[in-house]
Amino acid sequence: MNPLSKFLRGPVTVEQAGPASYAAGGFQIQVGNLRVVKIADVYIKDDNTPYKVGEVSISGNNVTVKVYKLSADTTTGAISAAEATGDDLSGITFKVVAYGY
C-alpha cells in the first residue's frame, strides 16, 4: 500500500462543460474540494462524440485537459486525430475523478 494513500482524499468528482471555443494547449477544470490534486482521470460523459481526452496535466487543484477530434477518411479508412482548436465543446460534459488533499 502506498504510504501516502492514508492522507489522500477522494474520489472527488467534478463535472464541467467544455469551452465555447477550445484553445490550443487545453482548458482547465478546477477541483475546488481539494487544495492539491495528485491523481486525476478525465472522461467525456457522452461517448457519442468525435472528441477524446488526450493529455491531462495537474497544477495545484487545476486539471488541464487536452482534447482531440478524431476523423476518418471514408475513402481510405485512415483515422487521424488533431487537437480540437477552435471547436465549440460547450455541449460536451467532462468529468474529473480526482484524489488529493
This prediction has a pTM of: 0.87
SS3 for 43? strand
Classify residue 26 as left (phi > 0), alpha (psi -120 to 50) or beta: left
What pLDDT was estimated at residue 7?
A: 79
**pLDDT confidence bin for 69, thresholds 50/70/90:** very high
Query: Is residue 28 over pLDDT 60?
Result: yes
What pLDDT was estimated at residue 4?
A: 58
Cβ neighbours of residue 16 closer than 8 Å, sequence gap 6 or more:
29, 93, 94, 96
Query: Is residue 59 over pLDDT 80?
Result: yes
